[in-house]
Amino acid sequence: MAMIRLEGVSKWYTPQFQVLKDCTLSVAKGEVLVVCGPSGSGKSTLIKCINALEPFQAGSIVIDGAKLPDPKTNLPKLRSRIGMVFQHFELFPHLSITQNLCLAQEKVLRRGHEEAMAKAMMLLERVGLTAHAHKFPGQLSGGQQQRVAIARALAMDPIAMLFDEPTSALDPEMINEVLDVMVELAGEGMTMMVVTHEMGFARKVADRVVFMDGGEIIEDRPTEAFFGSPHSARAQTFLSKILAH
């Protein structure tokens, strides 16, 4: 059964500007989906809709049985079950690394501080940042901050993880430390939807690649097929641009 299913999702920012056009897509449990496409094609908007961070005007989304839009769906609860990682990390600057990891565990999941802390330390060890537990976000490098952000999302025991260009704000030498964590996560069977232009990562871990342009899903194919056989002219142009260097 699909963990995430989008059915004909359309969204308008203004009556004149349709940012998503009839998007249909599904992600099975344990599947890794890479979403790529030119800047402004609606990738961020699409994954924000899945996490109910943006409303949409037509179509529906079902996540592990919870439906959008549906007044009966408890949005905070739904969001707490989906991990989200942002391009600019969005750690909370006034909270220490461990406080960043504990806040939502305690306030949303109502875990005790001891339990939250144990979980936080376990995850920090996993992303290799135990030594930085007491520091503040501003004291870490971009790559370290993004690994903390991944750990923060994982602390909620999510059923799926959404990534919005997690490495595109990073200096080149820090990209791999973040991708390594994501590859490991994929290997453990996490359901993932990753907006990225890291085609090496896509080839290595993605089960399927989705190509978007102008708010539409132009291609949705198994990774091998996407990179192998001919496909739409628009995807080809896009690929030739990003693979050129």
Ligand X SMILES: Nc1ncnc2c1ncn2[C@@H]1O[C@H](COP(=O)(O)OP(=O)(O)O)[C@@H](O)[C@H]1O
Binding site for ligand X (CB under 6 A): 13, 19, 37, 39-45
State yes or no: residue 4 binds another protein (CB under 8 A). Answer: no
Closest approach of ligand X to the CB of residue 38, in Å: 7
Structure tokens belonging to residue 112? 């005790």
Q: Which does 94 bind (CB under 5 to 8 A by kind): ligand X, another protein, Mg ion, none?
A: another protein
Which among 117, 173, 164, 116 is positioned nearest to 144, based on CA atoms?
A: 173
Burial, 196: exposed, middle or buried (Cβ in 10 Å; 0-12, 13-18, 19+)? buried
For another protein, the closer CB: 18 or 51? 51
Structure tokens belonging to residue 20? 């998503």
State yes or no: residue 53 binds another protein (CB under 8 A). Answer: yes
CA 47 to chain centre: 7
How far apart CA 36 and CA 41 sit, in angstroms, is 9
Structure tokens belonging to residue 186? 């994929």
Q: Which does 152 bind (CB under 5 to 8 A by kind): ligand X, another protein, Mg ion, none?
A: another protein
Around Cβ 207, how many Cβ atoms within 10 Å? 16
State yes or no: residue 84 binds another protein (CB under 8 A). Answer: yes
Closest approach of ligand X to the CB of residue 157, in Å: 27
Q: Which does 11 bind (CB under 5 to 8 A by kind): Mg ion, ligand X, another protein, none?
A: none
| 155-174 per-residue burial string, b: 16 or more CB within 10 A, e: under 16 | bbebebbbbbbbbeebeeeb
State yes or no: residue 100 binds Mg ion (CB under 5 A). Answer: no
Closest approach of another protein to the CB of residue 13, in Å: 14
| Maximum separation of any 2 CA atoms in the chain, in Å | 55
| Among 43, 132, 152, 234, interactor with another protein by CB under 8 A | 152
Q: Which residues contact 218 (CB under 8 A, 6 or more apart)?
A: 37, 211, 212, 232, 234, 235
Per-residue binding string, Mg ion, 38-67, x by CB under 5 A, is: ------x-----------------------
- Residue that is written with structure tokens 């961020």 in the block: 44
For another protein, the closer CB: 105 or 196? 105
Range in contact with another protein (rule: CB under 8 A) among 1-9, 35-43, 138-146, 236-244: 138-146
What is the SS3 assignment for 1? coil
DSSP 8-state code for residue 81? T
- Interacting residues toward another protein by CB under 8 A: 48, 51, 53, 76-77, 79-82, 84, 86, 88, 90-94, 103-104, 107-109, 135-140, 152-153, 156
Q: Which residues bind Mg ion (CB under 5 A)?
A: 44
